[in-house]
Structure 1
Amino acid sequence: MRDVIFHAFNCKYKDIINAVDKIHDAGYGAILIPPPLYSDKNGDQWWQRYQPKDYRVLLSHLGGKQELLDLIQKCHETDPKIRVYADIVINHMANESRAERLNFPGEAELNKYRTDPTFKDNLLYGNLNEGLFSPWDFNQTSNIQNHEWSNRDRVIFGNLSDLPDLNDSPWVLLQQRNMLVALANMGFDGFRIDAIKHMTERMIDNFADCEQIASKYLFGEVLTGSDHDENIFIDPFIRETWISAYDFPLFQTIREAFRIGGSLRRLAHPEAEDNALPWHRAVTFVINHDIPYNDGFRTWLLDRQDEHLAYAYILGKDGGVPLIFSDQNESVGKHPEDRDRWTKITERPDIFSMISFHNAVHGEPMAILYESDTVLVFRRGNMGIVAINKGGTENWVEFNTWGLKNPGNYTDSIHKHRMKLSGNRFTLYIPPRTAQMWLEDELHSI
């Protein structure tokens, strides 16, 4: 089964359509598109997508409703079909400097709706002759302050950086449900819910328990950076909902494991040690858009080679749905060192090989063969072996071959080296700062 998600961050819909064949050939099972709700058509900055002006219109700098329909159709015509997930922003509306800033979309926009047929052409649902939200639909409180980020009530009911925070009134809930049902009826296969830790349980249940939406794949962004935050936000989310989530606990464990002095032993059994989400609720990642694009999170960036090794881990391990981030060098203006780091991901041979391995061993059980502070080796079923050496020196690792095809001929998916495994014990050579993903030769043709 193909399940790896390609995150087409702030990418124009036509460009995604043109890349569908490459994405399919690279082995991806789904595409996460940028937020499609109406935002400033002239705003090319990525953060504009996260400031919706109206639920009822699908239009932005990235394209409109027809391009989205074309994208869904092309993805669903591939074999196997590529699923299309939409990034949805429903916690808040746009921060706009205008009179009556809590009326959405506002009188100026309503006048545009009346005179410009573009808006009716991109109508998702509803009546554009009327406003959508008024001041009564918002939690009119102050911004969340730095010392309040561990206060769950303030995080839920406070404003996020001046973004008007919607309340969970019956009218708001109705509009959110209507919008998501309309998107589901368009053909979207799932939704990423942005800033979900800022929403009430009532707001989440409102759409998650709706039949047309519950049949889709849902995952939320419950951003945490410590065990303390996980107790406050992740643990209640897992208890109170059925939705999947970004696996920030595993990401924190990965960062700790790959830091200088950290140990790869932490990645041997992270779920059992409460260092990862349950396997069936996790969207795994080693980089997401908030990390390079928000200065407050850039300290979470892995070294480039560690990022490569971490990808081998999340695409080699069992459990979770891996997400691969791709952008268009938009962080380079401020951070020139980012150039080409996350662009043209579909053409990167290492990621291509890792996804191929992931798809070949999908559903096979994982068993640890060897672990130390700098080396981790595990098998997937009886035909796949993953070996990671984060250290600066080469390693010869001996392990028991029970459970593997023996004798067996294996090829490293990443480097294309070949080896013959035989005997009760086997010694594997792992060069410094490298990952290997060995696949029994019969599976390389799948």
Structure 2
Amino acid sequence: MSDVVLHVFNWKYQEIIDRLGEIREAGYGALLIPPILYSDVNSHDWWQRYQPKDYRVLLSHLGGKKELEELIKQCHTGKPKLKVYADIVINHMANENREDRLNFPGEAELANYRHNRDLFEANKLYGDLNEGLFSGHDFNRSGNIQDHEWSDRHRVVYGDISDLPDLMDSPWVLLQQRTMLAALAEMGFDGFRIDAIKHISTRMIDNFADSDSLAGRYLFGEVLTTNDHEEKTFLDPFLQETWISAYDFRLFQTIRNAFTMGGSLRTLARPESENNGLPWARSVTFVVNHDLPHNEDFRNLLLDRTDENLAYAYIVGKDGGLPLIYSDHNESVHRHPEDHDRWCDAFKREDIKRMIRFHSQVQGKKMTMLYESDLVLIFRRGDCGIVAINKGGDHASVEFDTSGLKNPSLYEDCLNNNKMTIEGDRFNLSINPRTAQMWLAQK
């Protein structure tokens, strides 16, 4: 079964259901769907999904509980089975301009529940919607994190992000989070992405991660780091204090540095053993995620388009980690016209589909370096797969030892439809500038 995750960023649930055939055909093994907790149903803005109003209701501009149940059913009963991971926001609640802004869902929303009882009961996850869920006693109320405080772990955990009310790790809040996630697991979700997890205390993480209701579920978090200091402050403690997985920002930084002018692909040869990436069993690998195009503070982290394609060949071709492919609907174009169609429907790009085919064929096979330099990286996967990347601007001709490869054997390049026969102890591979190759031995 493929383990490649498709991030269907800001897709409506019915659209996901309607396109499951295409998603399966492309070779994905799991979906990461947008935040599912109750948020503004009238707003198409993607960031509204990251401002929950109530844990007890599954309803947003993207759909409701009925569509989610149908999505899970079709993913689990269709062939091949697809896993469904939900994006969950538990660090904070919505920033709303009302007098009772620390009461959730608030008096006006409770009145809405009563007025539209059938709608909200149909989308209820758990609990009594006649009563409020949180009050001012459930929030840290220590003010916004200031620019000079972003390297202070205590302030990052217990401060507000841009006026978003920051939840305490009190017994009541922890009970609601545990109950909510248990109810979602009962619905059939296979795992959860925990948003803004570096802003969440270890006590809050342990509260749900160690619960029996989530046993066997896949959990991963967003520990966003951009430099060595932030990794030591946030990522290293996260790895030491929890068992769950995380976006591999350490590997992403290594990839960015490797593909910059003067950077070296050698740093990608053994990322885990050289501390250039997370432990393989706790790594969700990516080359772009939704924060990078949409957050002005992070757009400078975006890779050059060609480098992004080469990096995809690397993370999908390497062993270890869970590769994530990002696919949106041009949400960033209104502010950045240059993004047009860059990630829109990326899930069905022919080159990515071919990378996933390679990945599925070599899954579980050991990665062994065949050649490494500043500009060229070549490695094999077991005895039947070869990945070659040339980031340089010149043609490369590289000779390597064929030990461990099927030999003699005909190989086909999944990306470029070329064929070659490997035989003898040495082989010379030709790689065009700024391209990648993914070779599979033919049976």
Letter in 2 for 1:412: D
| Structure 1 position 346, deviation (Å) | 2.9
Task: Give the conservation status (yes or no) of the 8 Å contact 1:207–1:214.
Answer: no
Q: CA deviation at 1:5?
A: 0.4
| CA–CA distance in structure 2, aligned partners of residues 74 and 266 of structure 1 | 41
Q: How does 1:26-425 map to 2 (within 5 A)?
A: 26-116=26-116, 117-425=118-426
For residues 21 and 230 of structure 1, the distance between their equivalents in structure 2, rounded to whole angstroms, comes to 39
- Please state whether the residue corresponding to 1:173 is helix, strand or coil: helix
In structure 1, C-alpha distance between the alignment counterparts of 2:9 and 2:425, rounded to whole Å: 47
Question: Which 5+ residue runs of structure 1 have no aligned equivalent?
Answer: none
Q: State TM-score, norm by structure 2.
A: 0.99
| Contact 2:385–2:439, Cα closer than 8 Å, also in 1 | yes
State the one-letter code of the partner of 2:24. H
Q: Cα deviation per residue 1:154-199 (whole Å; 9 max; x = unaligned)?
A: 0000001110000000000000011000000001000000001101
- Mapped to 2, the partners of 1:11 and 1:313 lie a distance apart of 27
Unaligned runs of 5+ in 2: none
**Whole-Å Cα distance in 2 between the matches of residues 98 and 261 of structure 1?**
52
Question: In the TM superposition, what whole-angstrom CA distance separates every residue of 1:407-430 from its partner, at most 9, and x where no partner exists?
Answer: 011000001100000110000000
Supply the distance in 1 between the matched residues of 2:257 and 2:202 (Cα, whole angstroms).
Answer: 31
Give the C-alpha shift of residue 270 in structure 1. 1.3
* Cα contact 1:24–1:78 (8 A) shared by 2: no
Q: Segments of 4+ in structure 1 off by > 6 A? A: none
Per-residue Cα deviation, 1:95-123 (whole angstroms, up to 9, x for no partner): 00000110000000000111102111100
Question: Would the aligned equivalents of 2:247 and 2:285 in 1 still touch at CA under 8 Å?
Answer: yes
Residue 75 of structure 1 aligns with an amino acid whose one-letter code is C
Mapped to 1, the partners of 2:265 and 2:347 lie a distance apart of 28
Give the CA deviation at 1:441.
Answer: 1.1
What is the number of residues matched between the two proteins? 442
SS in 1 for 2:297: helix
Q: Distance in 2 between matches of 1:136 and 1:80?
A: 47
1:304 Cα deviation (Å)? 0.6
User: What's the offset of the Cα at 1:56?
Assistant: 0.3
User: Which amino acid is 1:102 matched to?
Assistant: L
CA positional deviation for 1:260:
1.1
Shift of 1:406: 0.6
Cα offsets for 1:227-263 (capped at 9, x unmatched): 1111111111111111000000000000000011111
Q: Residue 181 of structure 1 contacts residue 213 of structure 1 at CA under 8 Å; is this kept in 2?
A: yes
Q: Distance in 2 between matches of 1:375 and 1:218?
A: 34
Q: Distance in 1 between matches of 2:24 and 2:139?
A: 42
Q: Contact 2:313 / 2:436 at 8 angstroms: preserved in 1?
A: yes
Q: Deviations over 1:130-160 (max 9, x none)?
A: 0000000000111111111111000000001
CA distance in 1, matches of 2:430, 2:338: 32
- SS of the residue 1:296 aligns to: coil
For 1:216 and 1:106, the matched residues in 2 are separated by 32
Q: Secondary structure at the match of 1:295?
A: coil
Residue type at the aligned position of 1:80: P
Q: CA-atom RMSD, angstroms?
A: 0.6
**CA displacement at 1:200 relative to structure 2:** 0.6
Could you say what secondary structure the match of 1:398 adopts? strand
**Alignment match, 1:6:** 6
Q: Deviations over 1:260-308 (max 9, x none)?
A: 1111111011111111000000000000000000011000011111000
Do the aligned partners of 2:325 and 2:347 also contact (CA within 8 Å) in 1?
no
Q: Is the 8 A contact 1:38 1:55 kept in 2?
A: yes
Equivalent residues of 2:326, 2:347 under 8 A apart: no
